[in-house]
Structure 1
Amino acid sequence: MSKHDRKLDQAARAAWLYYIAGETQHQIADRLGVSRQVAQRLVAMASEQGLVSVTIAHPVADCMTLAGRLKTRFNLEYCQVVPSSGAGPEGLQQMIAVAGAEVMCQTLKRETPQTIAVGSGRTLRATIEELPLFDRPQHSCVSLIGAIASDGSCTRYDVPLWMAEKTQGRYFILPAPLYADSEQDRALWCNHRIYRTVTEKAAQADVLFVGIGQVAPGCPLNVDGFISDDQVATLEKQQVAAEMLGHFIGEDGQRVSSDLDARLTSVRLTSATSRNVIAFAGGQEKHRAICAVLKGGWISGLVTDEESARFALAEEEQGKTLTRKIC
């Protein structure tokens, strides 16, 4: 890489932190290990060189390399990695959201009718909030997951409705709680005509946009009332690392059976998928979850951050080394 390219690379990092993560120039200087004056010049350079428009046009070289390695290692069709650079959780989520919105736009801007299936979660909602408005009433948005908790309340992260509002298209809600009260109760929900209609539509979706959740005390499923503290403890003992649409995934990437399975109403996902499933997730608390999902081949595309990408690649390499030693 030439000196000029390295300078552009650093300017792009500064632009991500300043325009997307909302960092001050003093904070950027600390993150990048430069003086405040240099940080100021880098932000100005990003604007002068045309790196900043509605999006940041110049990708960071390290991020591009990591994305390429993730695609190759985990057989992904699409991958984008945003800079971490010591950004805080809120800034990092915002960067993933902005990059993720660009990915979503590739589908939403199409003239031909698209069926878009959407999961739930904070990062997914933040991503949809970054979308511009589209005049695409021909598109349909389908919920992959019920948003009703055991007490009858609805989660604030019922994001498919937000997607439908952005596209001005039709919205199909999955009429069920995430976990029914019993196996018999699940049968009642899932045999309803409307439920079957929506899940059939989801099965034919052109693309699925999902989040990746971690399983730990205080995780979103726990905080929002879908699973209890005792259930979290049991899942941790089973070495569950990730959750997608209520499906629990172990550290080895395989589905982990639990007593919740018989009550789960969300749309079925499978490992080693051939479907167009794009996930949006990042941050240290999700490192193990992202790694598990990648190992199992649950997704075909990923938008994440540098540190999460490096963790997944390091874990995969460590696993291969251990396997070679055993053999």
Structure 2
Amino acid sequence: MDYSKSLLLKVAELYYNQNMNQQQIGDKLKISRVKVSRLLTEAKNKGIVKIDIIYPKDNCLELERELEERYNLEEAVIISARDKSKDVVYSEVTSAVAQFLEEKVNKNDIIGIAWGRTLKKVANRIREVNKEVRIVQLLGNIGSSDVSGDIIVRTIANSFHGSIHLLPTPAIVDNVEIKQAIMSDGNVSNIFAIQKQCSLAIVGVGVVSEKSTLALSDYLNQNDLSLLKQDGAVGEVCGRFIDKHGNVCETPVNDRVLGIDIKDLAEIPCVVAVATGDEKVKPIQAVLNTGAINVLVTDENTARRLL
């Protein structure tokens, strides 16, 4: 056996069986790290090294790839629904988002948080990790609701040992004049400025329905809902109502929202949407069509319907 093949085997042995990194191998064999990398690639191409991935039966990798391609996502995280109840699936989806945050969030990041039942569950599942991040509220408050953005912001900030930037306004006000007056306040405008500095945001997906939290909390009345449906609204994100194509509806309701604009949301480097369930399929499609979402976390059944 010539030296070239011997070197190939030696590099593969050191890397895969002795767990040495490429720089350590280069130092040991007196070759460059670049050559080590090239030899490792050559070893795989020649069949000297074969790598088998043992996929668990409940993996959804193919479904994730299809979803990423269809909706131009950077990442899709899909929880298997095989032999599981809806409650178990929902619990695993929210746990996955919490783990995503624990993994992806870096020290000193600015994280934007929307509102909703699902994000409240996510917030409660995040382990205590000292990240020293800043958490900013993306939509005004939903009255005394426990799924309001301010409560979720406080919960996540406690887990990450972070500071908070609360948006001290209602989510939706009665008219544009009130909104303009509130926006003229320096503290409020400062929060909107911080929103634009976010490196990551987590948002839920809302429905346009009498059973939605905004309707049940009296932020939307029957006339508002009728106008939204007439304008083609099928979903909501950060209080903004959108049609099936992902366009913000030309409706007076959107003019009264005190929260981040879709165009500003789209400028955030990583925006994660989380939603599950049959009733959320059309709203999720609409939100994905805005182009503002980079990552979707959902369940297997919802993902198949999205495709």
Scaled to the shorter chain, the TM-score interval is 0.7 to 0.9
Which residue pairs with 2:304 in the alignment? Answer: 310
Question: Aligned residues: percent identity?
Answer: 23
Q: What secondary structure is seen at the aligned counterpart in 2 of 1:217?
A: coil
Distance in 2 (alpha carbons) for counterparts of 1:59 and 1:132: 28
Contact 2:235 2:287 in 1 (8 A): yes
Distance in 2 (alpha carbons) for counterparts of 1:259 and 1:104: 35
Distance in 1 (alpha carbons) for counterparts of 2:57 and 2:185: 48
Q: What secondary structure is seen at the aligned counterpart in 2 of 1:90?
A: helix
Contact 1:254 1:271 in 2 (8 A): no
Report deviation, 1:236. 2.2
Q: 1:271 to 1:168 in 2, by over 3 A?
A: closer
Task: Pick one of 109, 119, 126 that aligns with 2:121.
Answer: 126
Does residue 295 of structure 1 match 2:285? no
Report deviation, 1:87. 4.2
Distance in 2 (alpha carbons) for counterparts of 1:67 and 1:165: 32
Contact 1:175 1:189 in 2 (8 A): no
Does residue 69 of structure 1 match 2:62? no
Which residue pairs with 2:214 in the alignment? Answer: 221
Structure 2 matches for 1:1-327, cutoff 5 A? 58=56, 60-61=58-59, 63-85=60-82, 87-108=84-105, 110=106, 112-136=107-131, 138-148=132-142, 153-158=143-148, 159-270=152-263, 273-275=266-268, 276-313=270-307
Task: Tell me the TM-score normalised to structure 2 length.
Answer: 0.76
Task: Tell me the TM-score normalised to structure 1 length.
Answer: 0.72
Q: 1:121 to 1:155 in 2, by over 3 A?
A: same
Q: Provide, for residues 243-289 of structure 1, a one-character-per-residue CA deviation record: whole Å limited to 9, x for no partner.
A: 01111111122211111122111111229935311111111110111
Q: Provide, for residues 61-102 of structure 1, a one-character-per-residue CA deviation record: whole Å limited to 9, x for no partner.
A: 3x2111111111211112100122364443332121011111
Distance in 2 (alpha carbons) for counterparts of 1:193 and 1:254: 30
Q: Provide, for residues 161-214 of structure 1, a one-character-per-residue CA deviation record: whole Å limited to 9, x for no partner.
A: 111111121111011111122211101111111111111111001101110111
Q: 1:177 to 1:60 in 2, by over 3 A?
A: same
Q: Provide, for residues 219-240 of structure 1, a one-character-per-residue CA deviation record: whole Å limited to 9, x for no partner.
A: 1221222211332233223321
Unaligned runs of 5+ in 1: 1-50, 52-56, 314-327
Q: 1:76 to 1:170 in 2, by over 3 A?
A: same
Q: How many residues align?
A: 250
Distance in 1 (alpha carbons) for counterparts of 2:246 and 2:127: 35
AA of the residue aligned to 1:179: I
Distance in 2 (alpha carbons) for counterparts of 1:170 and 1:307: 37
The structure with more radius of gyration? 2
Deviating beyond 6 angstroms after TM superposition, the runs of 4 or more aligned structure 1 residues are none
Unaligned runs of 5+ in 2: 1-53
Contact 2:135 2:157 in 1 (8 A): yes
Distance in 2 (alpha carbons) for counterparts of 1:90 and 1:224: 24
Q: What secondary structure is seen at the aligned counterpart in 2 of 1:261?
A: helix
AA of the residue aligned to 1:307: N
